[in-house]
Amino acid sequence: MPVKVFYHGHSNVEIHSGNYRIQLDPFYTSNPIADMKADAVNPTHILLSHAHFDHAEDVEAVAKRTGAILASNYEITTYYEKRGVKKTVGMNHGGGVNFDFGRATYTVAFHTSSFADGTYGGAPGGWMIETGGKTIYFAGDTALFGDMKLLGELWAIDLAFLPIGDMFTMGPAHALKAAQLLRSKAVVPIHHSTWPPIKQDAAKFAADLAALGIQGHPLTPGQSLTLA
């Protein structure tokens, strides 16, 4: 079964693998570039990088409606358990869990994490997802960090979702360096052009990746990519 990824704008991504649908950072309702509404998505699993509103906004509604398993850091899953989300997997950095779809490891990210109501959202992370014979890295919101090189040594990464927006995360120049450290075959730029302060030229970023021998896929919201 091919693994297919869908981009819904900002850092809102779905991975479809066999019978499983993995939703990362569901941000539909207030996302000005989202291609669909939160009530149209039907995940089996939700993986959340951190608590910020532009990632977590629709977690509670989607988890409650679908009964999807929510995985994130322990502070985040505890927060949602108190709000009535039933199926949660609380993790922390460096830990991996075997799910029905494959394996997901919660990786470090250099960023912050708090809920819209001010509640502490644990330490932010990213995900290394192994499913359907593919390895996909979702960096979450992060600065460039040197241990991306270690991730590239530990995993043979087929596709990396990397933020390029700048201001709140790394920008395009640092994301190019990240792609090299990770040794990823391909990269989809995320967390950009949602609002004017993080507007970036994703086509130029893809061209710069190509010059380094890395495939760039500047998906627009609603577009998908099948991993061959």
Pairing relationship of beta strands 88-91 and 3-7 according to DSSP bridges? unpaired
Which of 8, 52 has the CB closer to Mn ion?
A: 52
Nearer to Ni ion, 66 or 112 (CB): 112
Least distance (Å) between residue 169 CB and Ni ion: 7
CB of 175 to Ni ion, least distance (A): 15
CB 56, min distance to Ni ion, A? 9
3-class secondary-structure state, position 181: helix
Q: What is the dihedral of CA 7, 42, 59, 87, to 10 degrees?
A: -130
Partner from Ni ion, Mn ion, none binding residue 75, C-beta < 5-8 Å depending on class: none
Residue 51 beta carbon to Ni ion: minimum distance, rounded to whole angstroms: 8
Where do contacts with Mn ion occur on this chain (CB under 5 A)?
A: 52, 54, 141
Instruction: List residues binding Ni ion (CB under 5 A).
Output: 52, 141
Nearer to Mn ion, 121 or 218 (CB): 121
Question: Which C-beta is closer to Mn ion: that of 58 or that of 141?
Answer: 141
User: Which helix (H) or strand (E) is 4 found in, with range?
Assistant: strand 3-7
Residue 74 φ then ψ, to 5°: -60, -40
User: Is-contact 1 102, C-beta < 8 A?
Assistant: no
Q: Binds 57, which of Ni ion, Mn ion, none (CB < 5 to 8 A, cut-off by type)?
A: none
Q: How far is the CB of 72 from Ni ion (least distance, A)?
A: 13
- Between residues 9 and 102, which has the closer beta carbon with respect to Ni ion? 9
Token pair recorded at residue 179: 């792609």
End-to-end CA distance of the chain: 10
Strands (E), 59-148: 69-73, 88-91, 96-99, 102-108, 125-131, 134-138
Cβ burial of 203 (10 Å; 0-12, 13-18, 19+) is exposed
Measured from the Cβ of residue 122, the count of other Cβ atoms closer than 10 Å reads 22
Closest separation in Å from C-beta 185 to Mn ion: 25
In the bound state with Mn ion, the residue whose beta carbon lies nearer, of 29 and 42, is 29
